[in-house]
Amino acid sequence: MTDRIVVLGAGYAGLGAAKRAAARLRRGDAQVTLVNARDHFVERVRLHQLAAGQRLPDLPLARLLEGSGVELVVAEVTGLDLQARVVRLDAAPYSLSYDVLVYALGSGADMEAVPGIREHASTLAAPDQAARLRSRVGDSGSVAVVGGGLTGIEAATELAERYPRLTIRLISGGRIGDGLTEPARRHLHRAFHRLGLTVDEHAAVTAIGADGVLLNDGRELPAETVVWAAGFRVPELAAQAGLATDEHGRMLVDPALRSLSHPEVFGIGDAAAAHTPGGASRMSCQTGLPMGLQAGDRVADLLRGRQLRPARIRYVWQNVSLGRHDGVTQFTRADGSPLGSALLTGRASARFKEAITRGTVWAMRHPGPYRPAA
C-alpha cells in the first residue's frame, strides 16, 4: 500500500518538507504531493528588492522538484476535511486524500490591523503585491513605510537607495530594530540618515487614508504611497477546519511538529507555533526552512514506525539589509537574544546576507543530509 503525503504550501518550509520526505522514502512506498497556489517558488526575503525595481531569480517549482518524485499541484486550498482526511482545492484535481498532511500555508499581510489598509496601502507579502508597489512608487513623490521590524526597515532603505528623489519616512509604533543591540541600532540610524529617511519611533498608526496616515497622537502625516509592513497573519483555514490553534490562528504542535489535536497533521513555517528556546517560533525563513526539513524527516520516521524525535529549532542571527551595499547582522543566542558585540555591518553584512539568501535556494534544491543531528 502506498502512503499518501500531501504538503500544503511551497514556501521555505513546505518545499523543504516535501523534498526531504520524498528523499527519505522509496517511491513505491509513498507518494508525496505538493500543493501551491503559484507555480513558482517565492523568495519572500527578496520582495523588497522586487518592489524597488530589481529583477529576481526565476525559480519555477517544476524545476526545483525535478528528479525528486514529488508531484506538484498548482491550486489554492479551499478547505480541509480532517475526519475524511481530504484537502479541497479550487482547481483540478479539486480534492486530494492523504494519510499524512503537512500544513505549511505560511502567512500574509495583516490587512485588518487598522482601518484603511486594504483600501489605501501597499503590502509586501506576495510577489503581485510587491509588483504593484513597484509600479505605484514610480509615480509617487512621498512614501510612508509603516513598521519598524525587518520588513519595514528593508523596504524603506531599499526604496530610498533606488529612488533618491523620493521623500520616505519610516514609522514605527515602538523602537525601530527592537531586539538588536545598541551598536546595531546606531548603525541602522546612520544608514537612515545617509539615505535621507525621516524616522518616527513610538508613533502608532491608527488609520490609513488616501492621502497618508493618522497617528495615535492625532497627527496626520501626508504620503502619496503607504506601505504596510507592521504585521502578518496566518490563514484562518487551520482554525476553521478544527485544528488546535493559538490566539493568532497558528497551529499548536508538539515537539515533533505534530498537531496537538490531529497527530496525522504536521504544522510548520509561519502557520505553526513550534517550540524554540525563546518560546513559540518566529515567522521567518530562519525557522521555516529547518522546520520543513525536520518535518520531512519526521514524516518518513512516522511512516516507517520509528520513534519521532523532537525538532531542533535554534536562532543564529538576524540579518537586516539596508540597500544593496549595507546591512546589519546581529548574531544571537539559540533563544534569539543578541550576542553583545557579535555584529557585522556595512558591506560585510550585505555580502553575508546575500550568501545566506542564495544558500537557502541551494538548500531547496538539495535538501540533505537526510538524518540531521538531534
Report pLDDT digits (tens) over 96-109: 999 999 999 999 99
Reported as a pLDDT band with limits 50, 70 and 90, residue 372 is: very low
Q: What is the pLDDT of residue 253?
A: 98
Given a cut of 60, whether residue 374 has pLDDT beyond it is no
Reported as a pLDDT band with limits 50, 70 and 90, residue 49 is: very high
Given a cut of 80, whether residue 369 has pLDDT beyond it is no
Strand partners, 207: 214
Instruction: Average the pLDDT over 158-165 and give the result.
Output: 96
pLDDT tens, position by position, 324-339: 999 999 999 999 999 8
Given a cut of 90, whether residue 92 has pLDDT beyond it is yes
Q: Give yes or no for a contact between 226 and 147, defined as CB atoms under 8 angstroms apart.
A: no
Q: What is the pLDDT of residue 339?
A: 87
Closest C-alpha to 263, from 231, 298, 290, 315: 298
**Structure-model confidence comparison of residues 257 and 341, the more confident one:** 257
Q: What is the pLDDT of residue 186?
A: 96
Reported as a pLDDT band with limits 50, 70 and 90, residue 140 is: confident
Of the ranges 83-97, 137-151, 277-291, the best mean pLDDT one: 83-97
| Fold equal for 3-107+234-314 and 111-230 | yes
Q: What is the pLDDT of residue 371?
A: 47
CA dihedral (174, 177, 181, 187) positive or negative: negative
- According to CATH, the topology of domain 3-107+234-314 is FAD/NAD(P)-binding domain (3.50.50)
Reported as a pLDDT band with limits 50, 70 and 90, residue 373 is: very low
Cβ count within 10 A of residue 103: 34
Q: What is the largest CA-CA distance in the chain?
A: 65
**Cell digits of residue 320:** 537586516
Domain segments of the chain as ranges: 3-107+234-314, 111-230
Q: What is the pLDDT of residue 125?
A: 92
Reported as a pLDDT band with limits 50, 70 and 90, residue 187 is: very high
CA dihedral (356, 347, 284, 108) positive or negative: negative
Q: How buried is residue 252: exposed, middle or buried, by Cβ count under 10 Å (0-12/13-18/19+)?
A: middle
pTM, rounded to two decimals: 0.94
- According to CATH, the topology of domain 111-230 is FAD/NAD(P)-binding domain (3.50.50)
Long-range interactions of 30-33: CB distance < 8 A, separation 24+: 30/2, 30/3, 30/4, 30/5, 30/303, 31/2, 31/3, 31/4, 31/5, 31/71, 32/5, 32/7, 32/69, 32/70, 32/71, 33/4, 33/5, 33/6, 33/7, 33/70, 33/71, 33/72, 33/73, 33/96
| CA angle 192–194–199, rounded 5-degree value | 25
